[in-house]
Amino acid sequence: MIRSLRRVADRRRQADGRYGWLFSPYTGDEMVAIDCETTGLDTRTAELVSIAAVRIQGERVLTSGSLDLRLQPPASLRGDSIKIHRMRGIDLNDGDELGEALEKFLDFIGNRPLLGWCIDYDRAVIDRQLRPLFGFSLPNACLDVAQLYLREMHRTRPQLEPTVNFESVAEALNVPVMGRHTALGDATTTALMYIRLKKGALTTS
């Protein structure tokens, strides 16, 4: 509710700006799977380390034209998160500045619907960075693949208590996990999961 009110406000404010087109409804057939690696799990403090986005066109995952951004090392980059995404400060030294990266990201995704694994988290982190710099939050429609999976499971196998963790869902959908805990790998895997779900992987098997 608050989000949609905000979106309306953002839209009015941006209507004549550079990003006004992001607010118009999308009419194509593509979607974008996104994933971020961050320095923590708390949306209020976590900062972005890398962002990846992969377009999906029908049943094809367009990995050839994917976006994989690495950012300048944020101040909160510490040992515990490095253990997960394996990006050390040094690896990020040649990364993009936050503002530039977000600009590239916005240009890449456009007004296409977004797709992600627990996308609310990624969106919250991105929005927190986006708002001070650009003055709006991501206006795109979002689809959470984890929720989609849960819903499909409830519909096809109501008797089961499904476990929703990334690896086990990938296995259940017979999707290879590519490069886990790299932004692009997770985004690609999520895209594949979505395609499998759309093709009725759960209903047929």
Partner 1 sequence: MVDMDLSQPPFTLLDDSGRERVVRGVDLLYFNRGEIILDAGQPGEFVYIIHKGEVAELDPHAPSDQARIAHYTAGDLFGAISILKGSSRYRFKVEQESLCYAMPKTLFEHLCDDYPAFADFFQRGLAQKTRLLAERRAESGVNMAGFMLARVSACMRAPLIVEATTSIAAAANRLNESHADSMLVGKDGRFGVVTKTDLLNALVMEGATQARPVVTIAHFELVSAAPDQYLFEALVQMTRHQVARVVVVEQDRPVGVVELTDVLSHFSSRSYMVSLELEQADDLEALARASARLPELVQALMAQGIKLRFVMDLLAALNGRIVDKAYQFLVAPRYRAQSCLLVMGSEGRGEQILKTDQDNALIVADDSDWPDREIAMQRFTETLYTLGYPPCPGNIMVSNPAWVDNESGWRRTVTRWVERRDGASLMNLAIMLDARGVAGDTRLLDRVREHLFASCSHDELLLSYFARAALHFAAPLTLFGTLKTPRHGIDIKKGGIFPIVHGVRTLTLECRINETSTLARLAALAEQGRLEADFAADLGEALALFIELRLKQQLAQLDGRQNSDEPNLVVVQSLSSLERDLLRQALHIVKDFQQRLTHRFHLEY
Residue pair 30/57 in contact (Cβ under 8 Å)? The answer is yes
Q: Between 46 and 184, whose beta carbon lies closer to partner 1?
A: 184
Instruction: Give least dist CB 187 to partner 1, A.
Output: 8
Q: Between 143 and 177, whose beta carbon lies closer to partner 1?
A: 177
Q: Between 68 and 127, whose beta carbon lies closer to partner 1?
A: 68
Instruction: Give least dist CB 50 to partner 1, A.
Output: 10
Place of tokens 């994933």: 35
Nearest-CA neighbor of 35 among 137, 194, 178, 182?
A: 182
Contacts with partner 1 by CB under 8 A lie at 52, 59-64, 66, 68, 174-176, 178-179, 182-185, 188, 191-192, 195-196, 199
CA distance 137 to 24: 14
Q: Which residues contact 74 (CB under 8 A, 6 or more apart)?
A: 39, 47, 48, 49
CA distance 110 to 115: 13
Q: Between 13 and 198, whose beta carbon lies closer to partner 1?
A: 198
Instruction: Give least dist CB 198 to partner 1, A.
Output: 10
Instruction: Give least dist CB 7 to partner 1, A.
Output: 31
